[in-house]
Structure 1
């Protein structure tokens, strides 16, 4: 099987987390961000992740892929059921614009495989500048303002479910919460509360996924 994804995409990280945790052998293939044709040929829509089976058929939708990988993966590595994370997700949602303004310009500055060409970077930038209603240059100039908003959000987060407090297991809540928090590691000197940083690093180790702390911009 092949898992088509982008490195920066939080939806893709959901699938990658489960594939690694459940020890499902998949070949990870990073598409260029402006490669619409490959996505359309496989699932009829420009979106990732995409799980392609050995017979050439494919499926999209990150949580559908994650559930399938869970079903076929190591039965001795269970995923804990959902808990109540509504308050955590609501807090993250309230800071969504500030998060986007911090992350989108940095996505294309980190030498990620999906942005290996100028056309891929330009494609992404044009779409995301429309979404945040400002240029990447303006968003970067506003970094201090957006960092303050995100740091306040992080400081007010309810307690996160550490895997070490649950027998070293992954939870479906982690599949939803970790990807967005992980991406914030690309912002240099962003003040992570110790408990949030510990959560990100624990889940990263458990799922063999990478963070951006060592190359933050």
Structure 2
């Protein structure tokens, strides 16, 4: 039995889950850690970091290394399509990352995720992320309209992403990389996604066996 240790909100963890589900990796136990559980991470890899993958006595901790190994272990009939540089959206999202964080960090602890099942886990996350944001969650929420306007402009300008339904209901490595930061933004109630991008999100979520947060958005 292999084990995949994750936070259920973590974009890097979502990469590995998409590959594991899509490639139909068998005998894989998913272990959701509390956000303030430092001991488990240090026991496994000597530092606080997820995802962590245990397989045949080996433990690895880089999300794309894990994803590539899960791809090799998978038994599913459909391979992941190769990476296409023209569909890389990270260069467009990176300059507005602070706005994305200001929208998502104050909200993610409020939608019932297992990673934040305890008050101490929520407090731990808040302390870390408020330090990163340079403001309180309350201030970030109060400035929602400003942050939304920036993110919505960038979403509208993203290059068209190939729909899995246009490629025989298959996923690509672009989908694995592009989905997590956009999935995170579905936490934000009322954030506008262009119709094609929203369709792409739903198709990737279904094929990758992961959820979108539209129905729980705050």
TM range (shorter): over 0.9
Match of 1:53 in 2: 55
Q: Helix, strand or coil: the match of 1:200? A: helix
Which residue of the partner structure matches residue 140 of structure 2?
Answer: 139
How far apart are 1:75 and its partner, in Å? 5.7
Q: Once the 2 structures are TM-superposed, how far is the Cα of residue 86 of structure 1 from its aligned partner? A: 6.7
Q: Is the 8 A contact 1:51 1:59 kept in 2?
A: yes
In angstroms, what is the RMSD of aligned CA positions? 1.2
Please report how far the alpha carbon of residue 169 of structure 1 lies from its aligned counterpart in structure 2 after TM superposition: 1.1
Correspondence 1:73-152 to 2 at 5 A: 73-74=74-75, 76-85=77-86, 88-152=89-153
Q: Distance in 2 between matches of 1:27 and 1:119?
A: 25
The residue that corresponds to 1:10 in the other structure is: 11
In structure 1, the residue matched to 2:45 is: 43
> Which sits farther off after the overlay, 161-170 or 122-131?
161-170
Task: Provide Cα deviations, 1:33-66, integer angstroms capped at 9, x if missing partner.
Answer: 01011011111120111111254x3211100000
CA contact (8 A) 2:189 2:217 kept: yes
Aligned to 1:210: 211
On the 8 A contact 1:31/1:114 being kept in 2, the answer is yes
Q: Secondary structure at the match of 2:186?
A: helix
SS in 2 for 1:170: coil
Residue in structure 2 matched with residue 199 of structure 1 by the alignment: 200
User: CA contact under 8 A between 2:23 and 2:74: conserved in structure 1?
Assistant: yes
Task: Give the superposition deviation at 1:162.
Answer: 1.1
For 2:172 and 2:197, how far apart are their aligned partners in 1? Answer: 16
* Number of residue-to-residue matches in the alignment: 216
Structure 1 segments unaligned to the other structure (5+ residues): none
1:85–1:173 contact (8 Å) kept in structure 2: no
SS at match of 1:95: helix
Rounded Cα–Cα distance in structure 2 between residues aligned with 1:22 and 1:115: 28
Q: What secondary structure sits across from 1:29 in the alignment?
A: strand
TM-aligned CA deviation for residue 77 of structure 1: 1.7
CA distance in 2, matches of 1:137, 1:75: 45
Taking the TM superposition and a 5 Å limit, the aligned residue runs for 1:172-191 are 172-191=173-192
What is the Cα deviation at residue 85 of structure 1? 4.0
Q: Work out the CA distance in 2 between the residues paired with 1:111 and 1:9.
A: 14
Aligned-partner SS, 1:186: coil
Q: Where does residue 159 of structure 2 map in the other structure?
A: 158
Structure 1 stretches of at least 4 aligned residues deviating more than 2 Å after TM superposition:
85-88
Q: Is the 8 A contact 2:24 2:76 kept in 1?
A: no
The two structures have a TM-score, normalised by structure 1, of 0.96
